[in-house]
Structure 1
Amino acid sequence: MHEADSGAAPWRRWGTYVSDRQWGTVREDYSADGDAWAYLSHDAARSRAYRWGEDALGGWCDSEQRLCLGIALWNGADPILKERLFGLTNAEGNHGEDVKEIYYYLDATPTHSWARMLYKYPQAAFPYAALVAENRRRGKQDPEFELIDTGVFDHDCYFDVEITYAKAGVDDVLMHITVTNRGPEPARLHVLPQIWFRNTWSWVAGSPKPSLDAVGHDAVRVVHPTLGVFTLHYEAPQALLFCENETNGPKLFGFGDPHGHYKDAFHAAIVDGDADAVNPGRTGTKAAGLHILALAPGASATVRARLTRGERDPAAFADFDTIMQQRAAEADAFYAGLQRTIGDEDARRVHRQALAGLLWSKQYYGWDVPQWLAGDPAEPAPPRARRHGRNCDWGHFNAADVISMPDKWEYPWFAAWDWAFHLTTLALVDPHTAKQQLVLLCRPWFMHPNGQLPAYEWNFGDVNPPVHAWAAWRIYDTEKTRTGTGDRGFLERVFIKLLLNFTWWVNRKDPSGRNVFQGGFLGLDNIGVFDRSKPLPVDGTLTQSDGTSWMAMFCLDMLRIALELAQEDGAYQDIATKFFEHFMLIGGAMTNLGGEGLGLWDDEDEFYYDWLITGAGEKIPVRLRSMVGLIPLFAVAVIDETTLARVPRFTRRMEWFLKHRPEIAALVSFPDEPGAEGHRLLAIARAFRMKRVLARMLDESEFLSDFGVRAISRVYRDQPYEFVRGDYRAEVRYMPAESDSELFGGNSNWRGPIWMPVNYLMIESLAKFGSFYGDDFKIECPTGSGVMLSLREIADELRRRLLRIFLRDAQGRRPVFGACETLQTNPHFRDHIWFHEYFDGDTGRGVGASHQTGWSALVANLLEELHGK
């Protein structure tokens, strides 16, 4: 890592940077109606060249995705050559947008010198049609129909396909595939390690075209205009196959060369038996080595390939096994260092797989929005409607980078606030990349000229919570704690860019100038009585408790950074003052909205709510107890006296403000009184309100689950919350898992489940409160139990409850797997972990995107925090 971080050698040049799904993305959508899922389907993907990226099973590529590796499989019964993962489109079934495969990311190192995943491939025909039909049949009250529910894994009739990459050098990549027949009968499997170029030549006339050519019976010569010359060596393939990574026009559109050798040639040759589909001249831009394995029950076989710079090496496999063993040992040593405080074997397993999934989910993301809007010179012009459609006002956006994704199938595109949480965990294993990624998000080809950060691919102009200053501080502090030195240059660089983003929030999301904010849906889709991304269906303006609280938190995070930078540069004391005073104004507005004695706190219910302010000035609380009312607790910071002593100009101004603005100071917690450890506390919620909110949050009949904090109170399970205003009526019922609402396509749900990111922020907030109030300040936990715990003890209790989702219980079961006996008890499944998008509020079962390791990888942080005490 030192060589990679210092720039001495580009060890990160190659990695697991290929998406699991490029089809159905906005980038590949050239339709008139913007229906990306329908425009380029899974079925069309094998025959159609992509414009902006690639996808693969177990994919690997360089950091600019010029050259890719991956595997294809065929079990002799599948109607499709398995080159990419299958799943439902957004509107194709119950809860939609869901991968219907079983695979696991098992291991990885930050430089991708070692990366290992496992794919489970049924020996029967893959049940594509059954998965679609049954999920279409099921309603919103039914569970999703998953691959394991179809019976194709009964009696262990499947292959385990383990794909491992290791690097012998910067440009020397070993590919090791182990196939095991888990079934009771002999079985055959076609295995095709593939190599291909991303198609960069079809879109602009005269673009140089790279080439792949056979060298003897077991090697492919790779020639690329910028990468240079490489060779992919195969060990004893039955044949080498070649075609072009180009669209099959005759099949899809009815025109073009009927004798061409197109992207789907390997499918045609292997599955359809069309030997003429592949190029007999053994040249092209896509190639594969064919290996046909005949396996006895329980038997394994290995397929090996090696990509090296330069010409063919006759001794390519001489040291192959030695290098694999060496890299495996290095990975074990790396994680042993990280896990030295984690004594439990199962906890170490969960920790390592969480980090592996995060590292595997880095993906090359290419998209030139101006070119996408205008169309390519060598292709038909896009529909005129797109000039005024999705992301048309983001004409500056141009990405060609490796990015940490939520996951590479359901969300093979970044989401701004997800990204921040990924980097908080990535900083545990790869602070260099974590810093680089956060800087990237703030670069001018990402950030809008007006200061807005792009939210996510489907709508860059939407709004995600402003958690990026928090992430910057966490990355900085993690590295400083571990190495003794913080990267001040990184912190300053991000801080300056986030000043622009903060200004955008203030100018665009506080239209009344009252220091209360209307952020839109803020990532919390399906949580309220309105779709907050759209104009309200009733008269008035929604003043958001969460939007305002996120901004108060943003102020405090910027204040914390400014004070750190001010330790060496006094100019930052003035900027710190700005964020202190702005926080005080927001905190005051939360309690005394517009100076009218009314805030977002509801004295009747003793909770924070959104408030509807009508055109006539009527103020109506939306008394739905949800995460919206817990987020005010995130706006908390502690400042130690040592820091204040080093910034005298800031301290004098702070004391002046507290003295001369007592009406505001009285509304915010203790900025002028040292706490138990000599800290000053800045918090929206003063002690009484904090305790009242926690009394609800820690009530097991409301928010507190055995597995963390629910997004909505459980009191609405049997008696839903109703909101009626004129002709508008909305109902919100507690739903512990799958959504019953069509908001946001019906595939997202904050109506009860446990979400890792907000739980993590709550734990951190409780720890901050605890460092001020001290361990003698105790609160009943759970509410009504008679057990009194300090705030720091409550934070640890929440950590344990969240970890309970993944760890084996006394019966050896993991709540994340729910009632599925195969996942719970089969020795080939039970220790491979999925890190879902969210979790059932009653049972801890994983729900939503099954591989969204991004923010659910925060479990690694929780393990280190809990076991490091």
Structure 2
Amino acid sequence: MTTEHKRIAIIEKKEVPLVQWGPYLSERQWGTVREDYSHDGNAWQYFPFDHAHYRAYQWGEDGLAGIADAAQNLCFAIALWNGKDPILKERLFGLSNGEGNHGEDVKELYYYTDNIPSHFYMEYLYKYPQLPFPYQELREQNALRGKHEAEYEILDTGVFNNNRYFDVQVTYAKQSDKDIFVRINITNRYSEAASITLLPTLWFSNQHPGNTMPAQPVITYRNANTVVATHPSLENYYLYFQQPDDLLFTNNITNTEKVTGVPNKSIFVKDAFHDAIIKRKHVKGLRTVKKGTKCSPVYRMSIAAGETKTVYCRLSNTEIDKPFDQGFENIFIVRKNEADEFYNAVLPQHQSEDIKQIQRQALAGLLWSKQYYNFDVAQWLNSSDGITEVNSNKINGRNNDWLHLKNQDIISMPDKWEYPWYAAWDLAFQCIAFAKIDAAFAKHQLLLIMREWYMKPDGQLPAYEWNFSDVNPPVHAWAALQVYNIEKAQKGEGDIIFLKKIFQKLLINFTWWVNRKDRKGNNIFEGGFLGLDNIGVFNRSFPGTNMQLEQADATGWMGTYALNMMEIALEISMHDISFEDTAIKFFEHFVMITEAINEHHLWNEEDKFFYDVLSVYGSEPMPLQVKSIVGLMSLFAVAVIDKKALNKLKNFKKHIQHFNENKINHQSWLNEEQDESDKLLLSLVRPNRLVYLLQRMLDEAEFLSDGGIRALSKYHQDHPYTISIDGVEHSISYDPGDSTSDMFGGNSNWRGPVWLPINYLFIQSIRRYGAFYGDDLLVEYPAHSGNKVNLCVVADELATRVISLFEKDKEGRRKMHGNYNWFYQQKGNENLLLFYEYFHGDNGVGLGASHQTGWTALIADLISELHESKAAVKSENAVLAS
């Protein structure tokens, strides 16, 4: 057991399996719903980036390369100034939703290079231009570009040409959970000397309206190299720092003069350090005062070409006479070695260094995106931020029916900038990647979102803060089963208590789906956009009056949900027979949904494909003949059951036999057995239809790209689909890259790109089919190639294509970097990776959020599974050969 595994074993015994200090500080709090107190609900406009420097937040804090305690009382992050910018670089910049030609987008270069579950070792790299940061140029150039043009990125501005920038690497190494060393390395990558100012900043959160902050929290001068932070809810913490050029204090309160025109009562406001460093205003006053709620030592450095300068800090709950005693730097070497030891134990060995880097940085980004999230909807609706009074538009507006929602937890986020909030179905995928390195945290997260202060009393799960009532796919039972099995494989024993707890909550959510999304009671489900944004020819959440949209994907998801619930109940039944009847109940649900999707008009016999069907009052049902992943999602509902296990569950086995013998009303129930096999296959898709769907999926002229399965068939590139509804024409065509539609803000596209979580599900499902059929079912891969292989090989080949998005080719280029490979091939940048939201359907370039290591971290799991699959084939071949 590695040192880190020993720490994890201690942490997982806690009621909440977390350490007190971690990367819980967001990189953007501005522009979020939580900070929006406007009349019109325009969160981006109400609290833009330009206000973030001088307006105190109500619900959280943000910073650059920062950390915080688990309740975000006390925060630490760095601020920088290159001597030319109009503001300090305290947080990451990006375009708001209305500013980007493809919606919101972070415009910075930063990388999560390492992290481990206990956060005893963490690395973060930020690249800071030496020329003025091109804030206005990025806004103006993106404003000039249309939907059919690429985004104007920071590498397009020229500020990184000739390596005229600083590498700022922030590394955290803990002596103990409450004693943290910080190393800040600043390297001048340019060919000439350059100056930079560094402010390692410590501050208290301010969650109080207006321009007030309780007097109790205070950071006080102790000596020239130490300040002490005192808070009523936190023990004392000492920030130790090496000899600075200056030491400044202020308060984390709003600069009212800039926000409302009301003169400030003192100079000690949130943005005081900007004036002090850049304009040299009030320096003496900020230096002379000996306390405040925000404090920073200041280091002014001139760094020669190629030189690295280092500053050390230490944040500790202990008074230490010599915080930087001789040899203290060794802690960074020790913790780095422990991180190496941990990943050598959990990740497959005998792989290329490049593949190891991909896995490790994917997991590092996932760990860095554990965030403090605080939102009390009732309080938010009925309170003021001291700037805008409470108004009826707000009270009756967004999320007003989620008054029970009171969140204040550390949650796995999709992204610390673009998505600094949790998303229900993203979270499910994130937990699978987490399970490989920290199963206790993965289980905690799945249970957390089911808690009564998250889940609505009627069983609906909160989607995300922009609209908690949006409906996300019901993937949580699947995720719970995956997490359970991953931990079981690790420990040799499954956590049945966890399964029981989450099963009880999932029962409520499943009931909500059945009652709310099956209006006709025929086991054909709705659900609206289901997280797939603009996958449809129109907004599927609002098809129109006197209309009902029966969805192939919603029905496929529900078939998968019923099957997963059955599998969970069966697993629990092996330990507690009282769950056997519940397994039977979900088996019946699965049978009914199977019959419905196969016998209803969702299947188009002519096209051999599943389509959504629009039912208009007084007219025949109309299939929406869009060839998208909506029609392939029925493949997700597949399970292989061990018949030996069934023999222990006599009632369940008897029930299956009864359905087999009495297929009067259930002609489409799908189960298969093979001679001398101890397995039983349950599937939503008939075997012949499985082949039809795979033929389309594996066709390079349709769904199969070099980087995985596209969200929309390439068929629609030359054959756009158009439909007229109520006299209005709606159309959809293949968009391999960024969306050309404004339907959901323009920055989320399911009309052609490759999405990793969906590919992961397809690969998992195909592998299950392959495990059952073996060589008895062969398909052409790719379609029309004449090359016939079994489905296990198909799964491996699809995984290989997805992994190729991240891998270096022979020239050292990565598909995802696209036109920016020139930068990532430079010395020192070769191993820097980004984990995009989705990828171009033709060339594999990364698109959308550039750090959505949430569900894109599944690449780490995909690599491990491919490695295991190839090892199993190699072993099997060796046995056959012998």
**TM-score, with structure 2 as normaliser:** 0.96
- 1:550 match: 557
Shift, 1:717, TM fit = 1.3
Distance 1:675 1:237, change over 3 A: farther
- 2:267 match: 260
- 2:586 match: 579
- 1:862 match: 862
Distance 1:71 1:614, change over 3 A: same
Shift, 1:7, TM fit = 3.3
- 2:52 match: 45
- 2:571 match: 564
| Residue 142 of structure 1, aligned match among 145, 149, 169 | 149
- 2:181 match: 174
Cα distance in 2, alignment partners of residues 315 and 374 from structure 1: 47
Of residues 432-441 and 266-275 in structure 1, the stretch that sits farther from structure 2 once superposed is: 266-275
Distance 1:774 1:9, change over 3 A: closer
Q: Secondary structure at the match of 2:534?
A: coil
RMSD: 1.7
Shift, 1:815, TM fit = 0.3
Cα distance in 1, alignment partners of residues 229 and 528 from structure 2: 49
Within-5 A mapping of 1:194-213: 194-202=201-209, 207=214, 209-213=216-220
- 1:619 match: 621
- After superposition, the C-alpha distances for 1:197-238 in whole angstroms (9 at most, x for unaligned) are 111355798955300011221111111112121110001111
- 1:69 match: 76
- 2:653 match: 651
Q: Secondary structure at the match of 1:505?
A: helix
The answer on whether the counterparts of 2:37 and 2:388 sit within 8 Å (CA) in structure 1 is no
Distance 1:468 1:302, change over 3 A: same
1:768 aligns with 2:779: no
Cα distance in 2, alignment partners of residues 146 and 21 from structure 1: 19
Cα distance in 2, alignment partners of residues 837 and 530 from structure 1: 22
One-letter code aligned to 2:539: D
1:600 aligns with 2:607: no
Question: Structure 1 stretches of 5 or more lacking a match?
Answer: 594-598
Distance 1:378 1:50, change over 3 A: closer
1:339 aligns with 2:341: no
1:313 aligns with 2:321: yes
The answer on whether the counterparts of 2:813 and 2:821 sit within 8 Å (CA) in structure 1 is no
One-letter code aligned to 2:424: A
Shift, 1:776, TM fit = 3.2
Cα distance in 2, alignment partners of residues 48 and 272 from structure 1: 19
- After superposition, the C-alpha distances for 1:31-61 in whole angstroms (9 at most, x for unaligned) are 0100000011101000000000000000100
Cα distance in 1, alignment partners of residues 585 and 214 from structure 2: 52
The answer on whether the counterparts of 1:187 and 1:294 sit within 8 Å (CA) in structure 2 is yes
- After superposition, the C-alpha distances for 1:395-444 in whole angstroms (9 at most, x for unaligned) are 00011101000001110011100000000000011101001111100000
Shift, 1:257, TM fit = 2.8
Cα distance in 1, alignment partners of residues 693 and 495 from structure 2: 37
Within-5 A mapping of 1:161-240: 161-202=168-209, 207=214, 209-240=216-247
Q: Secondary structure at the match of 2:671?
A: coil
Of residues 682-691 and 277-286 in structure 1, the stretch that sits farther from structure 2 once superposed is: 277-286
Shift, 1:25, TM fit = 0.2
- 1:431 match: 439
| Residue 382 of structure 1, aligned match among 359, 384, 390 | 390
Shift, 1:810, TM fit = 2.1
Shift, 1:256, TM fit = 4.1
- 1:492 match: 500
Cα distance in 2, alignment partners of residues 451 and 523 from structure 1: 18
Cα distance in 2, alignment partners of residues 315 and 586 from structure 1: 65
One-letter code aligned to 2:422: F
The answer on whether the counterparts of 2:57 and 2:207 sit within 8 Å (CA) in structure 1 is no
Report percent identity of matched pairs: 47
One-letter code aligned to 1:670: N
Distance 1:658 1:760, change over 3 A: same
- 2:733 match: 733
- After superposition, the C-alpha distances for 1:727-746 in whole angstroms (9 at most, x for unaligned) are 12111110111100011111
- After superposition, the C-alpha distances for 1:692-722 in whole angstroms (9 at most, x for unaligned) are 0110010000000011000001011133111
- 1:758 match: 758
- 1:660 match: 662
Cα distance in 2, alignment partners of residues 203 and 583 from structure 1: 54
The answer on whether the counterparts of 1:240 and 1:282 sit within 8 Å (CA) in structure 2 is no
- 2:362 match: 354
Cα distance in 2, alignment partners of residues 114 and 513 from structure 1: 53
Cα distance in 1, alignment partners of residues 546 and 843 from structure 2: 39
- 2:798 match: 798
Shift, 1:345, TM fit = 1.0
Shift, 1:380, TM fit = 6.2
Shift, 1:645, TM fit = 1.0
The answer on whether the counterparts of 1:199 and 1:245 sit within 8 Å (CA) in structure 2 is yes
Q: Secondary structure at the match of 1:519?
A: coil
- 1:596 match: none
The answer on whether the counterparts of 2:27 and 2:417 sit within 8 Å (CA) in structure 1 is yes
1:517 aligns with 2:525: yes
- 2:671 match: 670
Q: Secondary structure at the match of 2:288?
A: coil
1:681 aligns with 2:681: yes
1:283 aligns with 2:291: yes
| Residue 508 of structure 1, aligned match among 495, 513, 516 | 516
1:244 aligns with 2:251: yes
The answer on whether the counterparts of 1:201 and 1:208 sit within 8 Å (CA) in structure 2 is no
- 1:295 match: 303
The number of residue pairs the alignment matches comes to 861
1:717 aligns with 2:717: yes
Within-5 A mapping of 1:450-469: 450-469=458-477
- 1:705 match: 705
Cα distance in 1, alignment partners of residues 330 and 337 from structure 2: 11
Q: Secondary structure at the match of 1:506?
A: helix
Of residues 774-783 and 439-448 in structure 1, the stretch that sits farther from structure 2 once superposed is: 774-783
- 1:442 match: 450
- 2:408 match: 400
Cα distance in 2, alignment partners of residues 677 and 77 from structure 1: 72
Cα distance in 1, alignment partners of residues 265 and 474 from structure 2: 53
Cα distance in 2, alignment partners of residues 23 and 302 from structure 1: 31
One-letter code aligned to 1:549: G
Q: Secondary structure at the match of 1:452?
A: coil
The answer on whether the counterparts of 1:438 and 1:472 sit within 8 Å (CA) in structure 2 is yes
Within-5 A mapping of 1:472-491: 472-491=480-499
The answer on whether the counterparts of 1:703 and 1:709 sit within 8 Å (CA) in structure 2 is yes
One-letter code aligned to 2:560: M
One-letter code aligned to 2:65: G
The answer on whether the counterparts of 1:563 and 1:572 sit within 8 Å (CA) in structure 2 is yes
One-letter code aligned to 2:668: L
- After superposition, the C-alpha distances for 1:310-357 in whole angstroms (9 at most, x for unaligned) are 335334444531211111110010011122435211100100000000
Cα distance in 1, alignment partners of residues 325 and 661 from structure 2: 76
Cα distance in 2, alignment partners of residues 223 and 200 from structure 1: 16
- 2:781 match: 781
- 1:124 match: 131
Within-5 A mapping of 1:534-549: 535-537=542-544, 539-549=546-556
Shift, 1:376, TM fit = 5.4
**TM-score, with structure 1 as normaliser:** 0.97
Shift, 1:681, TM fit = 1.3
Shift, 1:120, TM fit = 0.3
The answer on whether the counterparts of 2:204 and 2:217 sit within 8 Å (CA) in structure 1 is yes
Distance 1:171 1:453, change over 3 A: same
The answer on whether the counterparts of 1:219 and 1:312 sit within 8 Å (CA) in structure 2 is no
Cα distance in 1, alignment partners of residues 328 and 17 from structure 2: 21
The answer on whether the counterparts of 2:17 and 2:441 sit within 8 Å (CA) in structure 1 is no
Shift, 1:821, TM fit = 3.5
One-letter code aligned to 1:287: C
- 1:610 match: 612
Cα distance in 1, alignment partners of residues 508 and 865 from structure 2: 33
Question: Structure 2 stretches of 5 or more lacking a match?
Answer: 1-7, 870-882
